[in-house]
Amino acid sequence: MRRSACVLLIAVTTFGAASHAQKADPPAVAFEAASVRPNKSGESNTSMRRAPGGRYNATNAPLALFITFAYQIQPFQLQGGPSWMRTDRFDIVAKLDGDPPFVPMSSAQPDPLMLAMRTLLADRFKLVVHWETLELPIYALVLARADGKLGPNMHPAAVDCAAITAGVPAAAREGRITDPNTADHVACGMRNNAGRFQFGGNPLSVFANGLANQVARTVVDRTGLTGNWDFEFTFTPERFRQVRSDGVDAPAVDPDGPSLFTAMQEQIGLKLESTKGPVKVLVIDHIEQPTAD
């Protein structure tokens, strides 16, 4: 029997959470109730979901993923810690008091769920961290053409995602569906699935944050473009394999397609230039295995 394919779904409403360094320590927030249990299933699937009413449910997720979510960082910004932090899996079911507001992807501030996760990590895993700033290789997101002409797939956003985000709690209470995204189109947020990167309704600083995980470097938006944008581009992932090592068929991807770098230039008119700059990293000082409840 084939194992199920590895699927990571982080549904922070339909809009996700951006990765930003924090300028100051935000106020502490705690879950009203939370359960933490080791997951020994051996499955590869991971899911992290949040819902109106302050509900949060994560299944089979490594601790490193909870930390990067809580502190709005990319995996390469997390340094130190024991190996089990990235291999052992946990289930977390938690609830915040009340119905906290949703925070748009473009916000540089953590939302209440992220802050509550920080408190949970400190209480249950005894997590202690500190920030450092290092001079590291980064990418600058810039216009690909000197004349400023954009690619054929790049368009100003057609949907007011901020208004949709603000209306999510009320719509949920009334039982209305407010998701502007479909299986084939992302109007608000971003999605990367088997070499198809879709983006909608947000500024390019949010796209830069999303790219950071793809290229394992901090990406800084230096395009000079303002406003919100819609686009998509297709590329062949560097680690493309037609059949995965665990026997699961990989999604159909053109092995002769362009790289991510080439696809961006040709299809949306943006490119990545290698440079150096300050990168804020989160260093693990102390962490312990939790006691299951």
- What pLDDT shows up at residue 128? 98
Residue 246 pLDDT > 50: no
With cut-offs at 50, 70 and 90, classify the pLDDT of residue 22. Answer: very low
Is 97:10 a contact under the CB 8 Å cutoff? no
Calculate the average pLDDT of the chain.
83
Residue 52 pLDDT > 70: yes
For residues 76 and 10, the model is more confident at 76
pLDDT digit string (tens) for 123-153? Answer: 999 999 999 999 999 999 999 999 999 999 9
3-state class (DSSP) for residue 290: coil
With cut-offs at 50, 70 and 90, classify the pLDDT of residue 10. Answer: very low
For residues 50 and 281, the model is more confident at 281
Tell me the β-bridge partners of 79. 283
The CA distance from 101 to 168, in Å, is: 9
pLDDT (mean) for 104-115: 77
pLDDT digit string (tens) for 168-214? Answer: 667 767 777 667 778 888 889 898 887 899 999 999 999 999 899 88
Which residue blocks in 3-60 are alpha helix, DSSP H?
none
- pTM to 2 decimals? 0.72
Measured at the CA of 33, the angle between CA 31 and CA 38, to 5 degrees, comes to: 100
The CA distance from 21 to 72, in Å, is: 7
Lowest average pLDDT, out of 49-58, 102-111, 128-137, goes to: 102-111
- What pLDDT shows up at residue 253? 60
pLDDT digit string (tens) for 215-243? Answer: 999 999 999 999 999 999 999 987 553 44
pLDDT (mean) for 48-53: 83
Residue 34 pLDDT > 60: yes
Residue 2 pLDDT > 80: no
Residue 265 pLDDT > 80: yes
Residue 3 pLDDT > 60: no
For residues 7 and 133, the model is more confident at 133
Residue 24 pLDDT > 70: no
CA 284, distance to chain mean position in Å, is 20
With cut-offs at 50, 70 and 90, classify the pLDDT of residue 16. Answer: very low
- What pLDDT shows up at residue 174? 72
Count the neighbouring beta carbons within 10 Å of the beta carbon of residue 209: 25
- What pLDDT shows up at residue 141? 98
